[in-house]
């Protein structure tokens, strides 16, 4: 609930309910989209994330204890699958503009459901590599399509606001799935880990069927308007746009930091208890659910979105500085500082997400929205694929100086983003008349 929603007794109106779970639930209900298509897609996002969250929580156990892979084989296979996804993302984004976001996303969900149904039949590294690449080929392509559909179904709501609500639904599903996975891991035998895979396949299947109920409005490219010659290359000709993809990718480092670098640092380089890893993840999840919508407000304007990314860079830099100080501290001091760092990391994540959505929506023309969102997503995808190894070697293994170097990179990246956004906006305005002239010719 916003502070400006509260009124004093002197205004002749009753005080609003206190700030508690019920108050938050009422606020969350107000943030729900009004249109049928938007609510259907919100359910799709929740179901998709519920299945995926359960699998991610138990995937390492499934790979090693059911299939029988080594840690090195798992890492190599997933890295190769990530590279395949990096290559396939842009062509699939083009197909989504050509044939429609809805049909393309349905096809991707059914593809992933089929691939995960094959996983329980895998018993060697070669087959695992093939199936992992089948999954990876469409994994990252789905991200910009989801963003595009969220914007299309937003109706009266801002596109960034709609994407924020989708993110809250997904984070809530991830949290519930993690609890369910913990129960299975604690009480069930390793044979039950196959359920992680089957439930994920079911989530993809159900979400794909739900997508069939969507009646998305047709964009201009779907109505027979031919794209201008060379329009596929426009985002690659716009150097500031490509640099914004890079800066967004660098700021997206919060994801491999949260999943790899931060836990490894806590466990191997500090005196903090190992249980703090779970506490930090809980803090991250709760903040994401409660604050994503609030911190995304105003992000539809490209200037505001760029400033959000600038703030994200500074928040992530503050996180790195806090972590760098914890190596030689005692257990209590290190734990307190690491919890404060987890807060800074999450704030950086939320501002980065909102800013990235706003910048990419603003610069992607409607007729080629999914294609250009796919190009913009390249930076984040690249960091996700290469980030874990780079962070371990260049930051965690190096020590405090590694964190200080990362802090400088993140701060400078955030500070550069507003300038690059202004250049990209001017370049997009310049290219628009050229595209229109080409179509007329």
Q: Residue 279: which CATH number?
A: 1.20.1250.20
Is the pLDDT at 9 greater than 90, yes or no? no
Q: Is residue 206 part of a domain?
A: yes
| Closest by Cα among 133, 128, 116 to 64 | 128
215/405: higher pLDDT: 405
Domain membership of residue 320 as a residue range: 231-441
Indicate whether 209 and 284 sit together in one domain. Answer: no
* Burial of residue 194 (number of CB atoms within 10 Å: 0-12, 13-18, 19+): middle
Q: CA 316 to CA 346: how far, in whole Å? A: 8
Looking at 132-274, which runs of residues are DSSP E strands? Answer: none
Residue 191 has pLDDT above 90, yes or no: no
Residues 238 and 273 in one domain: yes
Give Cα 72 distance to the centre of its chain. Answer: 26
Q: Are residues 100 and 191 in the same domain?
A: yes
Instruction: Give the tens place of pLDDT for each residue, 75-134.
Output: 889 889 999 999 999 999 999 998 999 999 999 999 999 999 999 999 999 999 999 999
How many other C-beta atoms can be found within 10 angstroms of the C-beta atom of residue 441? 7
| Count of the separate structural domains present in the chain | 2
Query: Average pLDDT, whole number, for the chain?
Result: 86
Classify residue 119: in a domain, yes or no.
yes
Give the residue from 217, 239, 263 where a domain finishes: 217
Instruction: Please check whether residue 247 lies inside any domain of the structure.
Output: yes
**Coil, strand, or helix at residue 8?**
coil
| Within a domain: 286 | yes
Model confidence at 321: pLDDT above 60: yes
Looking at the fold, whether 210 and 300 belong to one and the same domain comes out as no
The answer to whether residues 382 and 428 belong to one domain is yes
- pLDDT for res 339: 97
Question: Do 402 and 328 reside in the same domain of the chain?
Answer: yes
Residue 316 shares a structural domain with residue 202 = no
Residue 31 within any structural domain of the chain: no
Integer Cα distance of 402 and 432 in angstroms: 43
Residue 65 lies in a domain: yes
- Quickly list DSSP for 402-419: HHHHHHHHHHHHHHHHHH
**pLDDT(308) > 80:** yes
At residue 145, the 3 state secondary structure works out as helix
**Digit-coded pLDDT (tens) for 323-377:** 999 988 999 999 999 999 999 999 999 999 999 999 999 998 888 889 999 999 9
Q: What is residue 334's predicted lDDT score, i.e. its pLDDT? A: 96
Q: Name the band, by pLDDT with cuts 50, 70 and 90, for residue 410.
A: very high
**149-189 pLDDT, tens per residue?**
998 887 766 899 999 999 999 999 998 998 888 888 888 88
Residue percentage of the chain with pLDDT more than 70: 84
> pTM (2 decimals)?
0.85
Q: Is 1 part of a structural domain of the chain? A: no
Domain boundary among 177, 195, 217: 217
pLDDT at residue 225 tops 60: no
pLDDT (0 to 100) of residue 352: 98
Same domain membership, residue 165 and residue 298: no
| d(C-alpha 128, C-alpha 229), whole Å | 41
Q: Which pLDDT value is given to residue 431?
A: 60
Residues 375-391 pLDDT 10s = 999 999 999 989 998 99
Residue 209 included in any domain: yes
Q: Do 154 and 36 form a contact (C-beta atoms < 8 A)?
A: no
pLDDT greater than 70 at residue 58: yes
Q: Which of residues 217, 250, 274 is at a domain's end?
A: 217
Quick one: pLDDT at residue 17?
47
Give me the pLDDT at residue 289, please: 93
d(CA 269, CA 261): 11
Query: How far apart are the C-alpha atoms of 420 and 238, rounded to whole Å?
Result: 11
For residues 277 and 396, membership in a common domain is answered with yes
Same domain, 271 and 202: no
Residues 408 and 281 in one domain: yes
Same domain, 118 and 146: yes
Between CA 317 and CA 320 the distance in angstroms is: 5
How many whole angstroms separate alpha carbon 186 and alpha carbon 75?
A: 24
Q: What is the CA radius of gyration of the chain?
A: 22
Burial class (CB in 10 A: 0-12, 13-18, 19+), 424: buried
Q: pLDDT tens digits for 226-282?
A: 555 445 556 667 889 999 999 999 999 999 999 889 999 999 999 999 989 889 988
Q: Which of 22-26, 37-41, 85-89 has the highest mean pLDDT?
A: 85-89
Count Cα atoms within 13 angstroms, Cβ side, for 6: 8
Residue among 432, 369, 377 at smallest CA distance from 151: 369
């Amino acid at each position: 609930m916003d502070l400006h929603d509260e009124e004093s007794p002197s205004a002749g109106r009753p005080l609003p309910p206190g700030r508690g779970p019920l108050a938050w639930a009422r606020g969350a209900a107000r943030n729900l989209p009004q249109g049928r298509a938007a609510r259907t897609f919100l359910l799709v996002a929740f179901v998709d994330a519920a299945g995926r969250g359960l699998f991610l929580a138990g995937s390492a156990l499934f790979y090693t204890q059911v299939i029988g892979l080594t840690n090195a084989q798992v890492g190599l296979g997933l890295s190769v699958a990530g590279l395949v996804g990096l290559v396939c993302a842009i062509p699939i984004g083009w197909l989504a503009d050509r044939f429609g976001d809805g049909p393309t996303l349905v096809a991707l969900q059914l593809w992933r459901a089929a691939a995960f149904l094959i996983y329980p039949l895998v018993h060697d590294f070669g087959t695992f590599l093939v199936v992992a690449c089948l999954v990876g080929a469409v994994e990252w392509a789905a991200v910009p399509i989801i963003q595009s559909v969220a914007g299309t179904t937003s109706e009266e709501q801002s596109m960034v606001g709609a994407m924020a609500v989708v993110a809250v639904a997904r984070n809530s599903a991830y949290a519930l799935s993690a609890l369910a996975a913990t129960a299975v891991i604690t009480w069930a035998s390793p044979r039950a880990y196959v359920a992680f895979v089957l439930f994920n396949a079911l989530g993809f299947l159900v979400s794909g069927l739900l997508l069939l109920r969507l009646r998305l409005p047709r964009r201009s490219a779907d109505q027979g308007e031919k794209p201008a010659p060379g329009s596929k290359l426009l985002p690659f000709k716009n150097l500031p746009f490509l640099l914004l993809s890079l800066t967004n990718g660098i700021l997206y480092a919060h994801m491999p930091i949260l999943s790899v670098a931060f836990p490894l640092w806590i466990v191997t380089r500090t005196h903090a208890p190992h249980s703090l890893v779970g506490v930090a993840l809980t803090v991250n999840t709760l903040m994401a659910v409660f604050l994503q919508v609030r911190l995304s407000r105003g992000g539809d304007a490209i200037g505001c979105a760029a400033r959000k990314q600038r703030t994200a860079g500074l928040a992530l830099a503050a996180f790195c500085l806090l972590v760098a100080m914890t190596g030689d501290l005692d257990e209590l001091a290190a734990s307190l500082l690491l919890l404060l760092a987890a807060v800074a990391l999450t704030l950086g994540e939320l501002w980065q997400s909102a800013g990235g959505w706003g910048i990419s929506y603003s610069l992607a023309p409607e007729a080629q929205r999914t294609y250009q969102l796919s190009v913009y997503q390249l930076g984040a995808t690249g960091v996700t694929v290469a980030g874990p190894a780079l962070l371990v070697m260049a930051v965690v293994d190096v020590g405090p100086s590694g964190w200080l170097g990362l802090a400088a990179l993140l701060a400078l990246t955030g500070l550069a983003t507003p300038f690059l956004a202004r250049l990209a906006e001017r370049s997009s305005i310049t290219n628009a008349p050229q595209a229109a002239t080409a179509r007329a010719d």
